[in-house]
Amino acid sequence: MISPRLSASLALCLSALWQLPTTAQEITHEQVTDFASLEKLAAQLALKPYEAPNQKLDPFFEGLKYDGHRKIRFLREKALFADLGDVYRLEFFHPGWMFKKPVQFFSTGVDKSAGVPFDQKFFDYQDLPVPEKLTPPAGYAGFRVLAPDSMMKKPFEFMVFMGASYFRAVTTELGYGISARGVAVNTIGGKPEEFPDFTHFWFQPPKPGDKFFKILALLNGPSITGAYQFDVMPGKTTETLIKATLHLRNKVEMLGIAPFSSMFWFGENSHPKPYDFRPEVHDSDGLQIEIEGGPAIWRPLDVSRDLRLSILETDKLKGFGLAERDRDFNNFQDLEAVYHRRPAVWVEPRTGFGKGSVVLVELSTGEETWDNIVAMWKPAELPATPQEPLKVEYRLAWLEEHLPGLLGKVISTRRGFVMDSDDHLYVVDFSKGALAPDKPADWVPDIEVIISNGDAKVLDKRVMYNHETKGWRAFFKIDVPEKTNLIEMTCDLKDGDKAISERWMYQWRR
């Protein structure tokens, strides 16, 4: 569940398989030229026992550590499609260190796809003492996608696929942060988590002027296979249009659709804070959810000693995502990690998102190099057999911010004890949002605070105009009995019965 940056997939034990016959006419990897043919390959693979990728490398590459592996550089002039002009190009990563699984690549044609074999001449090994005679890897470890040079007037890497089904993207203004992945299996539910792999990729040769670059990927794991199509386009918002057809070869406890992971160590709402010179350390500071017809929800991230699990059920999901709303360098003070310039992600469902739940998992962590936050969509029902496909389509945007329409958005969350008391004080800042034009100058919204889980009492609540942010500051006090260990609470700003803000939603743990 907790995963390192660009994490490799883990070795997994196989569970019992449904015994089912294979298809009569099988399609080969070379016969995959489009999404329809890839769907056929994934469907026939689901009827076969799982075969784990061979991770055996030559002893020299097997023994590479972090410093040695990072010295190996792909030669830019060897990029796939570099001979096609000012187009999208691909550079590959060398296997080694923690990335040992070989991945196979193909360039698609009209009737057949051509393999892209590993070539040692495509790399600069610098001062590494590479033996003259060694066994080359069976494939590459992953790849990066470069935009046409005309876009940024220089080479611009905007997306990376590497390790299991993980991929990350940047925008023209924001750097790497959140990691997405193809699917999540048994992240919660009691069974060991599985990390299926993208084992094969197919690339459609690009043409000058193409807005999107098309990527096909085959997913394979102990309990699942899948066909994926990614249409990607970089920009101030980097677009990723995804469609997938999934087959369960085994029953699973949980399947997560459009999952992504991030890091939250401590923020403005964390108590106690680590002994660190930086005020905050995180890639994301909140989960954002929109439900058709309302509400729009902002759930500040937080961690404690125990796992935090939040599940919001709905059959009217408009979208969800993780965001880094705090863009003030003074709140981070990190010149190297530049946490205030990490992208947000926003998932916009297209098809296949019916009844289900947005799931948020927050794990404790003692440092900043591990992704300890996971968000995903969990379907309420799953296919019963491998022959029943689960089809989904969604837009995954990497961006500065997804705004909650005309509603006031949550800007910050702070908490502490009331002076000379053990009552809890919460201070939540909202932006002003769009108000009716007839409001008097001294008007302030109503505040509604609800305790929905746990024994606690709201003692006081009020709203003030915040002259510094030009928005609203909500205050409320909570009396938490000694016996209470968990509270779920919400706060809304209202104009009568009408919500004028996002719904602030928070989980408190002792």
Q: What is the pLDDT of residue 24?
A: 52
Residue type, 80: L
| Nearest-angstrom CA–CA distance, 358 and 321 | 10
- Tell me what pLDDT residue 117 has: 95
DSSP calls for 261-290 = EE-EEE-TT-SSPPS-SSS-EES--EEEEE
In contact, 152 and 158? CB cutoff 8 Å: no
CA-CA distance, 212 to 80, in Å (whole number)? 16
The helix/strand/coil state of 325 is: coil
Separation of alpha carbons 496 and 510, rounded Å: 34
Instruction: Quote the pLDDT of residue 317.
Output: 97
Cβ neighbours of 24 (radius 10 Å): 6
pLDDT at 429: 97
pLDDT score, position 510: 81
Q: Which of 256, 245, 253, 198 is nearest to 388 (CA)?
A: 245
Cα torsion 364, 182, 326, 450 to 10°: value is: -70
CB-based contacts of 151: which residues, under 8 Å, 6+ apart?
172, 234
> CB-based contacts of 45: which residues, under 8 Å, 6+ apart?
218, 220, 225, 247
The per-residue pLDDT for 376 is: 98
**Residue 356 tokens, joined:** 């289900």
Q: What is the mean pLDDT of each run of 10 residues along the chain (510 residues)?
A: 39 35 73 97 96 89 92 96 97 94 94 95 95 92 97 96 97 97 93 95 97 98 98 98 97 96 95 94 97 96 90 96 96 97 97 96 92 96 95 98 95 93 94 88 94 89 95 95 90 95 93
